[in-house]
Each structure stands twice: as structure tokens, then as C-alpha cells.
Structure 1
Amino acid sequence: MADKNITCKDCGKEFVFTEAEQDFYKEKGFENEPQRCADCRRARKQQNNNRGFRR
């Protein structure tokens, strides 16, 4: 496996999905690659926490 460049679906910024992250996703059984960069994931999580959602 090699690092992959992915474009964030929220901000359009390109981010790297590292080989180590890919191994982690595979180990956890996740089938989909991340669609958001770390900043957008953090912002979305904070937004959901403020709305009372727990994820």
C-alpha cells in the first residue's frame, strides 16, 4: 500500500491518507476511505456535539 491523496468533500483541500491510517482502517474493518480532512472532521464532530448528537 502507498499513501493516497484525497480531496476533502467539505473544503476541497487535498489531504494524505497515509499507509498507517489505511492499515488502521483495514484493522478496524472500515470499508470506506475518509472523505474529510482532519480539520473538517474535527469541525463536524464539534458541530454534532453542539447539537446533542453523540458519535
Structure 2
Amino acid sequence: MEDKNLICKDCGKEFVFTEGEQAFYKEKGFENEPQRCVDCRRARKQQNNNSSFGR
């Protein structure tokens, strides 16, 4: 495996999906590559956490 350059589906920036991240995904059984960069994943998670308080 080698590092892969991917494009974030939210912001359109290129980000690196490292060898270590790929190994982690494989170990966890994830079949799809990440769709979002780290910043957008963090922002989306924060947004989801904030919206769940109202339930």
C-alpha cells in the first residue's frame, strides 16, 4: 500500500489517505475510502453532536 490523494466531497480540497489510515480501515473492515478530509469530518461530527442534544 502507498499513500493516496483523495478529494473531499464537501470542500473539494485534496487530502492524503495515508498507508496507516488505510491499514486501520482494512483492520476495522471498512470497505470504502473516506469521502471527507479531516477538517470536514471533524466539522460534520461536531454538527451531528450539536443537533442530537435537542432530542
Quote the residue 1:2 is aligned against: 2
CA RMSD, 1 decimal? 1.0
TM-score by length of structure 1 reads 0.93
Q: How many residues align?
A: 53
Q: Which structure 2 segments of 5+ residues have no match?
A: none
| 5+ residue gaps, structure 1 | none
Q: By how many angstroms is 1:20 displaced? A: 0.5
* Structure label with greater radius of gyration: 2
**Post-superposition, which runs of at least 4 consecutive aligned residues in structure 1 deviate over 4 A?**
none
Which structure dedicates a bigger proportion of its chain to helix?
Answer: 2
Identity %: 85
